């Protein structure tokens, strides 16, 4: 799947907005990607996540992890396509992420960390820190939009 094909899908679904946007990071951008809008369509979620799964297959991933809320659909669909487990990190009171009760990272898990849109990489970094603190080994990272 090419970058142009991905942009076409975002445009068709109304998930690519143009104008002036102040991002959570404080940066400004002339475009804004609303991945939740495109991911509401299962066929597009399958296609877009399939591209990440295809590229990650060589890493023999056992667990896919993403941040709540933006990475949940993404991590679930990719895990499904890879035959792996899926977890997501939730914000904790200290500004980091914690595991949802019942979620487990097995020491030695080969983890693909994913997020929908990377701006600064802050949420993805927190997911990586969480997974590694639980004994997982991040072998790859992925995102829809960088």
* Domain residue ranges of the chain, discontinuous segments joined by +: 3-145
- pLDDT for 30-39, tens place per residue? 988 889 999 9
- Pick the closest to residue 66 from 131, 122, 113 (CA basis): 113
Residue 128 CB neighbour total at 10 angstroms: 19
Please, what is the average pLDDT of the chain? 93
pTM of the shown model: 0.91
Cross-strand pairs, 33 = 16
Q: Can you point out the beta strands (E) in 45-109?
A: 63-67, 85-91, 97-99
Whole-number Å distance between alpha carbons of 7 and 10? 5
Strand order in the sheet with 110-117: 97-99, 85-91, 63-67, 110-117, 137-145
Rounded CA gap, 78 and 56, in Å?
Answer: 9
Q: Among 3.40.50.300, 3.40.50.2020, 3.30.830.10, 3.40.50.1980, what is the CATH number of 3-145? A: 3.40.50.2020
pLDDT tens digits, residue range 62-120?
A: 999 999 888 899 999 999 999 999 999 999 999 889 999 999 999 999 999 999 887 77
């Amino acid at each position: 799947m090419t970058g142009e094909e991905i942009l076409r899908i975002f445009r068709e679904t109304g998930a690519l907005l143009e104008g002036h946007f102040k991002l959570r990071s404080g940066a400004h951008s002339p475009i804004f990607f609303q991945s939740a809008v495109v991911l509401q369509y299962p066929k597009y979620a399958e296609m877009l996540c399939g591209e990440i799964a295809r590229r990650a297959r060589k890493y023999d991933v056992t667990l896919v992890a993403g941040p709540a809320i933006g990475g949940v659909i993404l991590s679930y669909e990719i895990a499904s396509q890879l035959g792996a487990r899926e977890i997501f990190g939730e914000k904790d009171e200290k500004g980091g992420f914690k595991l949802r009760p019942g979620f487990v990272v097995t020491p030695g898990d080969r983890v693909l960390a994913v997020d929908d849109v990377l701006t600064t990489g802050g949420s993805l970094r927190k997911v990586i820190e969480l997974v590694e603190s639980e004994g997982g080994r991040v072998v790859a990272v992925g995102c829809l939009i960088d």
